[in-house]
Structure 1
Amino acid sequence: ADDWVWWHKTVPQKLEEYHKNGYRLCIFTNQGGIEKHNTKLEDIKRKCETLIRETNAPIFVFIATGENHFRKPASAMYDFFIENCNQNVKVGQ
C-alpha cells in the first residue's frame, strides 16, 4: 500500500482546504486487477484510507473493479455520485 506518493507535499493540505471551502472530494479509480485477481481489494482500501487520513477530510471513493460500464473513461461512477451522493448540490460541469 506504499507504491504511490503525493505529487507535492502540499497536496493533502490543499485538499483539506477545498473541503473546508465546501467542496466534495472524490476519487474515481479503475482497479481492474481486482476482477482479475491481480490486485487485492484490501490493498486498495488501505491506500484510500491512508490518503483520507493524510488529507484530514472526508473523501468519496468509487472503484471500478473490472471491465464494466463504471470503468473510466465512461462516466457511470461520476453519474452515480451526482445522482446518489451529492445531496442535490448543483455541479458546474
Structure 2
Amino acid sequence: MSTDIQTIRKLAHLARLEFNDEKEQDMLQDLNKILNWVDQLRELDTENVEPLVHMSEEVNVLRDDMAQNTVSHEQALANAPKKDSDYFRVPKVLE
C-alpha cells in the first residue's frame, strides 16, 4: 500500500499543518514506510494470540486519596506577588 502527495496535502490540511515541498516529500516517504510496515504486520498469523490489555503484568499501587490542608492560607499568600486580604490578585482577563 502506498499513498500520493495529494493525500499528504489533505492530511496536512486536516491537521492544520504546513509543509514546504521538501518536507512534503519527506512526509510522503515516512507515511509510505509506515503503511508498508502495517502491511507486513497484516501477514502475521495472530489467530491464537490473546489481545494485549496491558504492556506488563505489574499493577500500580496507589495511595488513598485523602483531602488535607498541607499549606495554610497564610503560607499560600505569603509568596504571592499581589494579594488582597484573603485572595490572590491576578490581571483582568475578561472585559
Q: TM-score, normalised by structure 1?
A: 0.23
Higher relative contact order (CA 8 A, sep 6+): 1
* Superposition TM-score, scaled by structure 2 size: 0.23
- Who wins on radius of gyration, i.e. which is larger? 2
Between Structure 1 and Structure 2, the one with more strand by share is: 1
